[in-house]
Homo-oligomer: A and B are copies of this chain.
Amino acid sequence: MNPENNTSHAGEWMRGSGPDSDIVISSRIRFARNLANHRFVTRADRSELAEVQSKVREAIVKAGVCEDMVYYDLETATAVDKLYLVERHLISKEHGEGDEPRGVAVGKDEVVSIMVNEEDHLRIQVLKSGMQLTETWAHINEVDDRIEEHVEFAFSSKFGYLTACPTNVGTGLRVSVMLHLPALEWTKQLEKVFHAVAKLNLAVRGLYGEGTQALGDFYQISNQVTLGKTETEIVQNVSAVIPQIIQYERKVRETLLVENKQTLEDRVWRAFGMLSTARTITSQETMDLLSNIRMGVNLGIIDTLEMSTVNELFILTQPAHLQKLKGRTLPNTERDVERASFIRQRLEEG
């Protein structure tokens, strides 16, 4: 790994330059794929997993999936390195935890990444900034097709792509959009949104996916069902609901700006004040304060700060990133002090 390079610049999606990036952080699609003639990850022994990994790596290279592809071997990676990849949304927490042969291939700007031997042999991911589901969809299909030229995927004419978990069978597709919804959260209107979303068979998850907590008012909306629908239907289903949530969040922000201007500005500026002065701060509090600042920058309340700085701070202040920046493992208390110091410095630079 080359942490210094990676911490100093962020993935494409972190720059927050995509469409509707005031509210949509990222568009993400992943395919679950397995090699034909190999047992699923849960059933295979070490040697078979090693063989799968080797075949997949070879296919990725041959396929020329994208520029500057780097492979991180998770068997030999340290705990901090693995957490670092989780924080960048390149591997799942579970993927970091196993001790079987496994890894992740990451392309330029972290747009394309492929987890190897997570729950499935391959978890292909394309992650783009802002609302770009159509582009993400086109991109991942290209990646998938290229890889399929070099390996045979497990496929049933009856069920579609076969996956380790039945919930993924069929298209093996998960479409998710990460939204920043501070105004809906603040005005307690999120429940309403989530209720409507659930009726459409979509799931709401926290920042780091399934079973994780909502942090910094970030929510992922994604499809639940993969079987019995075409891939296009699934993508369209998610694509159709997101603009409504965007409009809702924007409307509430505008109403707040008119009817609660002072309170809104107060909330935003105090968050800025605290992050600019704190001498020790947890990751959780950082996310919550950055969330208010992000909204403030989007609404023009704060105009001395680049959105890219705010977006990067969300990632760079996470525990593993911070430790990589400092070049050593830090106990909790020391980490909170280093985090506060790092944030002050970044905010001063604007």
Interface of A toward B, CB cutoff 8 Å: 262-263, 265-266, 269-270, 272-281, 333, 337, 340
Chain B residues, Cβ within 8 Å of A280? 262-263, 266
28 A-B contacts (beta carbon < 8 Å): A262-B279, A262-B280, A262-B333, A262-B337, A263-B279, A263-B280, A265-B279, A266-B278, A266-B279, A266-B281, A266-B340, A269-B277, A269-B278, A269-B279, A270-B273, A270-B274, A270-B277, A270-B278, A270-B279, A272-B277, A273-B273, A273-B274, A273-B275, A273-B276, A273-B277, A273-B278, A274-B274, A276-B277
A267 CB, nearest partner CB in chain B, Å: 8
Known: A262-B337, A266-B278, A273-B276. 17 other contacts (CB 8 A): A262-B280, A262-B333, A263-B279, A266-B281, A266-B340, A269-B277, A269-B278, A269-B279, A270-B274, A270-B277, A270-B278, A270-B279, A272-B277, A273-B273, A273-B274, A273-B277, A274-B274
User: Could you tell me the distance between the alpha carbons of A177 and B263 in the complex, rounded to whole angstroms?
Assistant: 38
A281 CB, nearest partner CB in chain B, Å: 8
Q: Which residue of B lies closest to A279 (CB)?
A: B266
Q: Which residue of B lies closest to A267 (CB)?
A: B279
User: In terms of DSSP, what is the predominant structure of the interface of chain A?
Assistant: helix
A249 CB, nearest partner CB in chain B, Å: 22
Chain B residues, Cβ within 8 Å of A275? 273
A317 CB, nearest partner CB in chain B, Å: 16
Q: Which residue of B lies closest to A271 (CB)?
A: B277
Chain B residues, Cβ within 8 Å of A273? 270, 273-278
User: Could you tell me the distance between the alpha carbons of A265 and B333 in the complex, rounded to whole angstroms?
Assistant: 14
User: Could you tell me the distance between the alpha carbons of A269 and B280 in the complex, rounded to whole angstroms?
Assistant: 10
Chain B residues, Cβ within 8 Å of A263? 279-280
Q: Which residue of B lies closest to A264 (CB)?
A: B279
A292 CB, nearest partner CB in chain B, Å: 11
Chain B residues, Cβ within 8 Å of A278? 266, 269-270, 273
A260 CB, nearest partner CB in chain B, Å: 10
Chain B residues, Cβ within 8 Å of A274? 270, 273-274
User: Could you tell me the distance between the alpha carbons of A248 and B85 in the complex, rounded to whole angstroms?
Assistant: 50
Chain B residues, Cβ within 8 Å of A277? 269-270, 272-273, 276
A221 CB, nearest partner CB in chain B, Å: 32
4 nearest A-B residue pairs (beta carbon):
A273-B277, A273-B273, A266-B279, A269-B277
